[in-house]
Amino acid sequence: MTTDRRRKASIFAMLAVFSSAIVQAQDQGRGDKSVDLRVISSPAQYVSGGDARIEVRVPPGMQHKVELYLNGRRVQANLEPTSSKGDRLQAVITGLTPGENRLEALIKGRWDRDAIKLTNYPITGPMFSGPQQHPFVCTTTQSAVGRQPIVESATPPGTRVFDAAGNVIGYSRDCSIETFVTYLYRTTANTWATMPADGSRPADLAQVTLPDRRTVDFVVRREVGSINRFLYSFAMLAPANEPPGKLDLSRWNGRLLYWFQGGVAIGHSQGTVHSGSLNPDILRLGYAIAHSSGNNTGTHYNLQVAGETMMMTKERFIERYGVPTYTVGLGGSGGAIQQYVIGQNQPGLLDALLPVQSYPDMVTQTIHVGDCELLEHYMDATDRTNPKWRVTKNRSWLVGFNAEEGFDDVNDPLAQLKMALGYSTALGTTECVPAWRGLSPLSMNPLYGQAPNQQNYEPQSAIASIRWTHWDDLRNIYGVDETGAARPTWDNVGVQYGLRSLQESKITFEEFLNLNWHVGGWKQPSEMVQEGFPFFGTSPEEINKALTVPGYFDPWSRRNMNLSSDPNKPAPRTKADLRPIRNAYTSGMVFHGELDRPTIDHRQYMERELDMHNVHQSFAVRKRVLQRTGNSDMLVIWFTDTLPGVPKASQSMDAIAVMDEWMRNIQRNPHKGIRRNRPARAVDSCFDVTGKLIYAGDDAWNGILDDKPAGPCTQRFPIYSSSRIVAGAPIEGGIYKCALKPVERAVKEGVYAPWTPTLEQVQKLKQIFPDGVCDYSRPDQGRPWQRH
């Protein structure tokens, strides 16, 4: 690990200073120090926007004698006591200069004093994520915010800013807006409306009964602004007649829920504030909800930027409203990934996690998702005469994911076109098609992508020059090559596709050889060309083009694959550079199982409809945690069943309630730790389609990560795999570039049993795998440390 990364890791560890549980523990460890000064809104090394909430601890009776000095000058601050003894004081300090600042607290007339160094960054960022992405397109007028960005200059580059008449009045490079506060109310028809400006009480204003049995008007104060170039939102219950400049926090329960949103995008956009930031079911409980468009993976997938954005956004919340009792995350898919990765990399930001439809991280999903179209193309086009691939379920033998047929959501919409063009097709399809089709080019192809509102950016040549790849979205992490392009991590050298299906005699040895001879790999991004049909629509004109223009029908992105035109040579595999793989690990973009806070990983079981959130991912998370920490006491896994066409039940509100009980137990009994503070419902469980409990117990999921007989939930919910697991990789995934062993050694070890390859077959294996085959008993070649 580099010195810089060690420094960052050390700093992030210090985030726990403002984690409520740790703050309480520190109360007992002050020693003989009579004055103790600390920043409680963020790490002192990472302060943004020129202000910070600080806490001064002094002996009882000395609170009125505290003086503060910033950079040698006395500052007046409203130090407010936060304890009954008066020995704790808090204030928001303003006027920090860019860079390093020295803040000192002393007791007047005594030598007692303490000083700290604060490093201040601009509110537009960055702090630690490196050079910001440009071009960067503003979306404030397209989002629920509806505000024009602040004009920063009269000349490009930037997003054009218009006046009310539609005239360009300037440009904005950082997309900043003025912070504003609105008061919304929940109507009796369960919609949001703006409180009247004249102060009158709407006739359709709903009321809500809080957990403490108070009945109040369902009115919400919402603050919106821009931080780190993204849009943020804070919302909590408040009285409608709140005096200007004086916050009434009496309806806030002290808990903060940070809303994370999922999706897939390649950046270059400010994004939008998600509707989840005004979730009425959560607000009615008294929670505050914080959210940023920078914590929406439908805006970008750089989780270093996401962690930085959450740090800055929570800092602003604490400065304005105070330190929450605890902060819990909630979000699905990419919103779940953010919780795991941010929880690992910035440990003080989240005290508890509620990931929904989770994956351990995004970057290691690209490994097996990148196999999807290679294998679908093989079954559809290369091995089109093999009747096995016309049986939908058999396709799982290669891709690992579930395969279904018989209803619209899982039928291949291009089946008729495939048949008309002579390709093999099945009645249904695998998860690869409805869930992942299009995401390989979105991640890999620099020519395929866009940002919302990009037409308003000047100059347009800057938009045209964007390389739309996942790797370029994270270029500060992966590094760049000599051409300036980000280095990709995708690799399939040595991968024996279909190996486990061979071992189970679902495919023959000749079919195994044929598959691995022809499957190929992906071109490097700089070699890729623009996509074909159906990536730009399925209009009659596009369909006619697909039927008449050779090669234009290309749902697999075949034009960007490494395929062999010589029948005597196997299709080339893709070889990755080890440098970006190492950087993915050391930057923390790979979730390596560092989890030390209460977590309820819950999901709807949607394997029947081939939803992309395949359920084995929850156990990939657990396996990484087990490898890292030796236990998963902090991690609870819940599944809720679903059926196509039947309304889906969600356990998120139950998870919030159970987590609140868990966190209150920890705060009352910190010495008991996470496991012994678990409430009765914080246990592995599964539920039926109505949300009714089927089974709860530590043995619910037996048989998935161990050799025990299948537990009650394991029996009820089939778990599928991935193409790399079928190729012999472990369930936790996360191996970019496998270690290799010679073909002869694999044969000697009986890797292909019950098959015994002939000498001719061994020679063909050596042609396909000249560098050897994957040895998954050893760690990733690019991993800078050994797996536990």
- Block means of pLDDT (10 residues each) for the chain, 788 residues, are 46 42 38 83 98 96 92 94 90 97 93 94 97 94 73 80 84 92 97 94 97 96 97 96 89 98 96 94 98 97 98 98 98 98 97 98 96 98 96 98 90 91 93 94 95 92 96 97 95 98 98 98 97 95 96 97 95 97 97 97 97 97 97 98 94 98 98 97 98 98 98 98 98 96 98 97 98 97 70
pLDDT of residue 407: 82
Q: Are 129 and 302 in contact (CB under 8 A)?
A: yes
Contacts of 665 by beta carbon, 8 Å cutoff, 6+ apart: 672, 677, 678, 679
Strand residues in 268-390 grouped as ranges (E)? 288-296, 326-332, 352-356
- Alpha-carbon distance of 662 to 532, in angstroms, equals 52
pLDDT of residue 601: 98
Structure tokens at 631: 């236990």
Contacts of 758 by beta carbon, 8 Å cutoff, 6+ apart: none
CB hemisphere CA count around 124 (13 angstroms) = 14
Closest CA to 698 of 688, 676, 713, 687: 713
Contacts of 313 by beta carbon, 8 Å cutoff, 6+ apart: 227, 228, 232, 290, 292, 294, 295
Contacts of 55 by beta carbon, 8 Å cutoff, 6+ apart: 37, 38, 40, 82, 88, 89, 90
Question: Residue 633: is it exposed, middle or buried by C-beta count within 10 angstroms (0-12/13-18/19+)?
Answer: middle
Question: What's the predicted TM-score (pTM) here?
Answer: 0.94
Closest CA to 551 of 377, 376, 375, 370: 377
pLDDT of residue 505: 98
Terminal CA-to-CA distance of the chain, rounded, Å?
A: 18
Sign of the alpha-carbon dihedral angle for 710, 714, 718, 720: negative
What is each CA distance from 716 to 463, 582, 603, 641, 711, in whole angstroms? 50, 39, 15, 9, 9
pLDDT of residue 785: 67
pLDDT of residue 61: 87
- Alpha-carbon distance of 289 to 232, in angstroms, equals 11
pLDDT of residue 140: 83
pLDDT of residue 348: 93
Fill in the amino acid letter for 687: F
- Alpha-carbon distance of 9 to 14, in angstroms, equals 9
Whether residue 754 is preceded by a cis peptide bond, meaning omega within 30 degrees of 0, is yes
What is each CA distance from 540 to 422, 513, 543, 545, 656, in whole angstroms? 20, 40, 5, 9, 48
